[in-house]
Every structure is written in structure tokens, then in C-alpha cells.
Structure 1
């Protein structure tokens, strides 16, 4: 029996079928391999590394362009997850007013953004 692909790691894009563990967060996922890499980076990080947003680092145009597709892919995954959560809320009887309030938007905005997805 083949395991279904339910989600992908938001960092390396590997599906749940190719990793040991996939931990879910609010609309994002991280695999055991990426957690291990993060732990190694944190343990070996010198205290003098400045904290700068990735897009504010000194990068070449090619470096920046190579990061656009993975960032867009992660954004698309988050959007798909958000849509799935909104569908779940609707299935459980959530009104557009309550869904909009939970998302910090009006009922009308929530309906316009998500009603075509049902």
C-alpha cells in the first residue's frame, strides 16, 4: 500500500513520503532532516553573527533569483493549507463572519477570497 502525499516540508520541499517525520505548524511543515540541520546550525553558530533578514544580506542577483521559486512554492503551500483550514471551518458550520474575524478581515473579504474554493 502506497502512502499518500499529505504535505511537503516548507524548507526542503520533500513530501511526507520521503522523510521519517514531518512536524506541522500553523500552515507550514518541517521534516526531521531540516530540524537536524537547524539544530546543527544553532549549536555551531558564533555569537557574533549579525541578525539580518535574508533579503538584507549581501547577495548577488543570481543568489536572489535562485531563492524566488522556493519562496513562491512555500507561499503557495501556505495558501493551500489556509484554504483547507477555511474549508474545514465551513464544513463545521463556520460563518463567513466568524472566518473573516479569525483572519482579521471582513466577512466580505473572506467570502471573496475563499468562496470559490468550496
Structure 2
């Protein structure tokens, strides 16, 4: 029986079944391969390099369009993880007011976004 896909790397989208290690953070994951890539980028980066958002780089349209699908997939994964965490909070007795406070929204907004009608 094949291992179940539990999560995907938020950077390369590989599932946990295709990587050696997948490290989880609050709603995001990174695989060992992407960690190695990050280390090599950080090691080779000049210390005075400016920090700019990826979409602010001078990129051709084709590359920007290629990034839209992976960004949308990462967004979907984050939304699914958030819903799972809200579900866990509810299982543990968390109220909609507490969940709303944790998310910076009203209890009504939290219920409308994550309540039974959305499940």
C-alpha cells in the first residue's frame, strides 16, 4: 500500500511521498531539497543585495505566467491547512469568538468562512 500524501512542499509542490523530509511550519511546508537550494542561495548571496519581492524582478511574461499555477496551488494548500487548524480548534472546544480573535476577525466572519456550511 502506497504512503498517503499528507502535505506538499510550499516551494516545489512535491508531496511528502516524493521527498526524504518535509518540515512543517504554521500552514507551510518545505522539503529537504528546497532547504538545500535555499542554503546554496544564501551562501552565494552578497550581503548587500537588495531584498525585493519575486514579482518585482524583471521577468519575461512567460515566466510570470508559469508561476501563476504554483502560486494558486500553494494558496489552495494554505487555505486547506487553515481550515484544518480551525477544525482542530473547534474539536478542542474553541469558540467562534476565540477563533475569530486568533484570526483577527469577528466571530461571525470566522463562522461564515469556516462554519458547517463551508465543510
TM-score normalized with structure 2 length: 0.93
Q: Residue in 1 aligned with 2:4?
A: 4
Show the 5 A alignment for 1:42-53. Answer: 42-53=42-53
Q: Residue in 2 aligned with 1:100?
A: 100
Task: Measure, in 2, the Cα distance between the counterparts of 1:117 and 1:8.
Answer: 23
**Please, which runs of 5 or more residues in structure 1 have no aligned partner?**
none
Q: Residue in 1 aligned with 2:13?
A: 13
Task: Measure, in 2, the Cα distance between the counterparts of 1:88 and 1:40.
Answer: 37
Task: Measure, in 2, the Cα distance between the counterparts of 1:6 and 1:110.
Answer: 25
Root-mean-square deviation (CA, aligned residues, Å) is: 1.1
**Please, which runs of 5 or more residues in structure 2 have no aligned partner?**
none
Task: Measure, in 2, the Cα distance between the counterparts of 1:117 and 1:36.
Answer: 38
The structural deviation recorded for 1:38 is: 0.4
Task: Tell me the number of residue pairs that the alignment of Structure 1 and Structure 2 aligns.
Answer: 118
- Residues 42-97 of structure 1: per-residue CA shift (max 9 Å, x gap): 11113343221111111121121111111111011000000000000111111100
Given that residues 83 and 117 in structure 1 are in contact (C-alpha distance below 8 angstroms), is that contact kept between their aligned partners in structure 2?
no
Show the 5 A alignment for 1:1-118. Answer: 1-115=1-115, 116-118=117-119
Task: Measure, in 2, the Cα distance between the counterparts of 1:60 and 1:81.
Answer: 32
